Amino acid sequence: MTRVTIWNEYRHERENEAVAEIYPEGIHAAIAEGLGEYGFETRTATLDEPEHGLPESVLDETDVLTWWGHRAHDEVSDEVVERVRERVLDGMGLLVLHSGHYSKIFKRLMGTTCALKWREAGERERVWVVEPGHPIAEGLDERFEVSEAEMYGERFDVPAPETLVFASWFEGGEVFRSGCCYTRGSGRIFYFRPGHETYPIYYQEEIRQVLANAVEWAAPTDGPEPAFGNGEPIEALE
Ligand code: ZN
């Protein structure tokens, strides 16, 4: 069974009543509930726990890590970021959610600023499936809507995704690459845009479906260990 660790900064929910009303036990609890419905084994980890809840022992038991952060990206220790990065290169899946675009781990893995345009005005977002045969789009219609969303607009300064699964349109007219697939080393990374803290987006059926599909897609496979360095010839050399 795929084991998922759901990481959350968990500050907005404890310090802002409006957010706490929507996510009384934290965004991580809502995401865990959704993934639990799909049969995944879930655990959660938050910024203010020792080692941000991500000691080696937890990562040892993690197939896919999901990451939600916003206002305290800088408080995530470089040591933990490096630990997570190494795990991703070794094959652990990583789902980077919404404002996680500015997290240290995502910026480090992408190598770009990961900056974007944004506006908080409760706009309608129409998410289009642009790669219908992709496993992350399984079970969805050709489009779905988020009734109230924070706008994220292009340009999104990331490397061109290896596969773009979703593209979003916003009421104000902007567009955004909202579902981006990458591989780094043996690990798979999926960036998924929807999910602002003041909207109940992580309870929405389609969003939960996407997250479950993405966990399935990003889970490590049992491929060969890569061999690096000086190599003996396979065939006899003349
Ligand atoms: Zn946001």
Q: How high is the pLDDT of residue 123?
A: 98
What mean pLDDT comes out for the span 93-107? 98
Q: How high is the pLDDT of residue 51?
A: 98
Question: How remote is the CA of residue 197 from the centroid of ligand 1, in Å?
Answer: 6
The fraction of the chain above a pLDDT of 90, given in percent, is 100
Q: List beta partners, residue 146.
A: 125
| pLDDT, tens digit, 9 for 90 and up, residues 171-227 | 999 999 999 999 999 999 999 999 999 999 999 999 999 999 999 999 999 999 999
Q: List beta partners, residue 94.
A: 65, 189
For the chain, the domains span: 3-114+178-218
Question: How remote is the CA of residue 71 from the centroid of ligand 1, in Å?
Answer: 10
Mean pLDDT of the chain: 98
Question: How remote is the CA of residue 98 from the centroid of ligand 1, in Å?
Answer: 6
Task: Give the pairing of strands 64-68 and 41-46.
Answer: unpaired
Cα–Cα distance for residue pair 62/35, rounded to 1 Å: 14
The fraction of the chain above a pLDDT of 70, given in percent, is 100
| pLDDT, tens digit, 9 for 90 and up, residues 20-79 | 999 999 999 999 999 999 999 999 999 999 999 999 999 999 999 999 999 999 999 999
**pLDDT tier, 168 (very low <50, low <70, confident <90, very high otherwise):** very high
Question: How remote is the CA of residue 115 from the centroid of ligand 1, in Å?
Answer: 13
Question: How remote is the CA of residue 196 from the centroid of ligand 1, in Å?
Answer: 4
CATH superfamily of 3-114+178-218: Class I glutamine amidotransferase (GATase) domain (3.40.50.880)
Question: How remote is the CA of residue 97 from the centroid of ligand 1, in Å?
Answer: 10
**pLDDT tier, 102 (very low <50, low <70, confident <90, very high otherwise):** very high
Question: How remote is the CA of residue 100 from the centroid of ligand 1, in Å?
Answer: 9
Q: How high is the pLDDT of residue 113?
A: 98
What mean pLDDT comes out for the span 128-139? 98
